[in-house]
Amino acid sequence: MSLNPMENEATVIALRQFTPTGDEGRDVTTLYELIDRLGVLKTAPAIRDALIGIFERHPKADLGSPGPIVHALEEAPLDEHVRLLVGSLARKPSSMAVWMSDRCFRSPGLSQESRAALLKALRDAQATVKDTDTAAMLADTLDEYGT
């Protein structure tokens, strides 16, 4: 874990500029290394935003299942995690955000408030989603949890 502010800043910049190579093993290893460098800082809001930004910029990339990004994001409290997903769905709906929403719905700790916010974000995303695979996932997720 790095406590060096300069090194932390360089790592955050590297996360924000991360571009998958197409080699899943190499990309996953790189992401684990970057996230590990941040230590406990990986749950900070700016770090979580940078991580979800990778899914928004590269929605078709294979980055593990669930992979280093999901593992890091899910270390935050569930309500904070839901707020992050709601924001991501509003900015650029992606299959990973929908998939992570499904994981939240299956969590016994999901509050009614977070459930309602997530359902609204998924419904709103249906109006803006451009990717047909993501649109199908949205429909399936809402069919399962939207009642």
- What is the pTM assigned to this prediction? 0.86
Q: Helices 112-126 and 95-105: crossing angle, nearest 10°?
A: 150
**In this predicted structure, what is the pLDDT of residue 3?**
54
Q: How confident is the model at residue 40 (pLDDT cuts 50, 70, 90)?
A: confident
- Output 2 or 30, whichever has higher pLDDT: 30
Cα–chain center distance at 64: 12
Cβ atoms < 10 Å from Cβ of 146: 12
pLDDT > 50? residue 1 = no
